A and B are shown apart, each in its own frame.
Chain A
């Protein structure tokens, strides 16, 4: 008997028992659908986090003051404008392209009767380059603004919305108060993507010239004659020089702050790439975990196939007996049942891909920020896994059918 005949017999048998066949495939449909849906979800989250970090700017390091971990030293010596100026020098830190400073001014921002608590920052004019942001309305802080410590402010869209009622309003020229000091709005930042991101709403920001923050908002003088700086935003020359830039900042600041031993550093350097990769590891684990869950449901689906195939073999004992009586060999019966199980699982796999697609489509509608798509490898995997399941879980019932003695099978009631 040819393979084609076995195929015809198997398809014929499946058509005869449509309902049972449909129920059998259900397990595989759900399993494969879950694998595709969840894997795609995991990937979507990974991509989303990666893109969130892209909005922080590329090849960026952050340096901020933090308490030392070693008990041999206590207290924080703040970073200063002098240190930052020194780091800008090619001789000290050749791997740094741009260095922007940020001093937190904090406070309550108000316009008319609306007031919001906001961490307002004073930044150097090159801050916008380092973060690769853009201006929607008006202008960004200029060197001249900074030099004369002008009372000007640039707002993020969320702040505009909360102060003026609508984020599309152009507030340039209007005045707001920051800790009761009057500022003129000179610009609004372009809305940043990922507004609900876990980094915090990057549109809920307000920036003034750093010198304004340092001189008009309170005393920030330091012992070396400069002003306090809370965060350094450093852009390295390129991706390769991230590590050397980190090294250079570390060496310089350790020296400037008199750090002698490991753990005495009163500053922390965060590398955007490191952050990304460690978060990537977490989301990678998430993806693996989701795949594992989906894999379990696929396994359950496979066992379901085996279960129903076994029931089917028992139920069709007389049919098997008859087939053997009219000349089917054990191998013919084995092949018939195996093909039935493979067809069921492949069919389940195909419908599972459709279900996965449905899950992804619904997911994309619910969370538009996640870019979800069916990848070919997920489809190939689903096909491979489901046909494997068909063979693996079909083999035992099929071999039981094949081993039946025709007289026992014919006598079976």
Chain B
């Protein structure tokens, strides 16, 4: 495990590659997760296979109870699968110790949460430096400044969370997720606490980061409007993937007005398999 980190810059050869020549960032095979809730066993995930390639912009959707959050926890190395394999950027993380998992989260994953999770009374710059501190990295203030500039907050370095709008706070969180140059950014309902305009701004930042810097982004959301801004939708139901398809025409953030509920449903149904019979979808 340690040796894998040592050759951080090195490329592994046994990583799957897709048709466009992109390497797999996430490889999940036969992952299950079972919780014991009292006497009852809850099968949150019942055998999930999933590969996400670098530079992809994916959203994972599903109703509550579908195993969406469980899958996100496993993807984020916050939790371990009961069985199955999970390779993140070529490293098998399904059997790592607690402290090695912390290292994986630090170096390979950038988290963005629905409620921002910023430290109170801490300046934007210090927030962004946090992952660098735990990484023991040098040049912290320079890197933190660069990350904040890349989300358009170069002028807000010394602002406290209480002095920033919700959208700005979420941008600080994105900068914090970016700063260690992770293999992917994992965002859990990143616009859930924002109004439409701030939400669009945040989506725009993710799209720009993905398009211009090739950063792999995984959204976990139940909001199909948000999902339509990504390139690929994975639908979970009852602990299994029931649909996995590219979005024909991803929306460009800020260019489209959010449609009415009815229109939105219809649009989703057009592009995304919703869990009926296989023939209905194709």
A326 touches B99 (CB 8 A): no
A91 to chain B minimum Cβ distance, whole angstroms, is 88
A318 to chain B minimum Cβ distance, whole angstroms, is 6
Choose the segment among B83-91, B105-113, B205-213, B248-256 that binds chain A (4+ C-beta atoms closer than 8 Å).
B105-113
B contacts with A, residue count (CB < 8 A) = 27
A318: chain B residues at CB < 8 Å are: 117
A407: chain B residues at CB < 8 Å are: 73, 78-79
A326 touches B121 (CB 8 A): no
Within 8 A of A (CB), among B130-147: 130-131, 133-136
**CB within 8 A of A327: which of B98, B106, B126?**
B106
A2 touches B111 (CB 8 A): no
A328-B136 contact given A319-B119, A407-B78, A410-B113, CB 8 Å threshold: no
A405 to B136, CA, bound (A): 22
Does A354 sit within 8 A of B, measured CB to CB?
Answer: no
Within 8 A of B (CB), among A30-51: none
A322-B79 contact given A1-B133, A9-B133, A329-B102, CB 8 Å threshold: no
Does A324 sit within 8 A of B, measured CB to CB?
Answer: yes
A327 touches B119 (CB 8 A): no
B42 to chain A minimum Cβ distance, whole angstroms, is 15
A319 to B135, CA, bound (A): 18
What 1/0 mask marks residues of chain A from 308 to 326 whose CB sits below 8 Å from any chain B CB? 0000000000110111111
A327 touches B122 (CB 8 A): no
B94 to chain A minimum Cβ distance, whole angstroms, is 16
What 1/0 mask marks residues of chain A from 1 to 29 whose CB sits below 8 Å from any chain B CB? 11001000100100010000000000000
B106: chain A residues at CB < 8 Å are: 326-327
Within 8 A of B (CB), among A366-413: 405-407, 410
B78 touches A406 (CB 8 A): yes
A12-B122 contact given A322-B117, A326-B111, CB 8 Å threshold: yes
A16 touches B78 (CB 8 A): no
B78 touches A327 (CB 8 A): no
Does A258 sit within 8 A of B, measured CB to CB?
Answer: no
**CB within 8 A of B136: which of A2, A9, A325, A331?**
A2
A16-B134 contact given A329-B99, A406-B78, CB 8 Å threshold: no
A312 to chain B minimum Cβ distance, whole angstroms, is 13
A407 to B69, CA, bound (A): 10
A331-B103 contact given A325-B111, A326-B134, A407-B73, CB 8 Å threshold: no
B111: chain A residues at CB < 8 Å are: 325-326
What 1/0 mask marks residues of chain A from 199 to 240 whose CB sits below 8 Å from any chain B CB? 000000000000000000000000000000000000000000
B167: chain A residues at CB < 8 Å are: none
Does A330 sit within 8 A of B, measured CB to CB?
Answer: yes
A327-B117 contact given A1-B134, A9-B133, A407-B79, CB 8 Å threshold: no
A325 touches B134 (CB 8 A): no
A2: chain B residues at CB < 8 Å are: 136
A325: chain B residues at CB < 8 Å are: 76, 78, 105, 111, 117
Does A332 sit within 8 A of B, measured CB to CB?
Answer: yes
B224 to chain A minimum Cβ distance, whole angstroms, is 24
A255 to chain B minimum Cβ distance, whole angstroms, is 87
A321 to B76, CA, bound (A): 13
A328 to B130, CA, bound (A): 9
B130 touches A323 (CB 8 A): yes
Does B6 sit within 8 A of A, measured CB to CB?
Answer: no
B105 touches A327 (CB 8 A): yes
A410 touches B103 (CB 8 A): no
**CB within 8 A of B98: which of A12, A319, A322, A329?**
A329
B102 touches A16 (CB 8 A): no
A330 touches B113 (CB 8 A): no
B78 touches A323 (CB 8 A): no
A330 touches B99 (CB 8 A): yes
A410-B98 contact given A324-B105, A325-B76, CB 8 Å threshold: no
A327 to chain B minimum Cβ distance, whole angstroms, is 2
A328-B134 contact given A12-B122, A16-B122, A406-B78, CB 8 Å threshold: yes
A107 to B113, CA, bound (A): 96
B78: chain A residues at CB < 8 Å are: 325, 405-407, 410
22 contacts between A and B (CB under 8 A): A5-B133, A5-B136, A9-B133, A12-B122, A12-B126, A16-B120, A322-B117, A325-B117, A326-B105, A326-B106, A326-B111, A327-B105, A327-B106, A327-B134, A327-B180, A329-B99, A330-B98, A330-B99, A406-B78, A407-B73, A407-B78, A410-B113
Chain A positions near chain B (C-beta within 8 angstroms): 1-2, 5, 9, 12, 16, 318-319, 321-332, 405-407, 410
Pick the 5 closest A-B CB pairs, nearest first: A327-B106, A327-B134, A329-B102, A326-B131, A329-B99
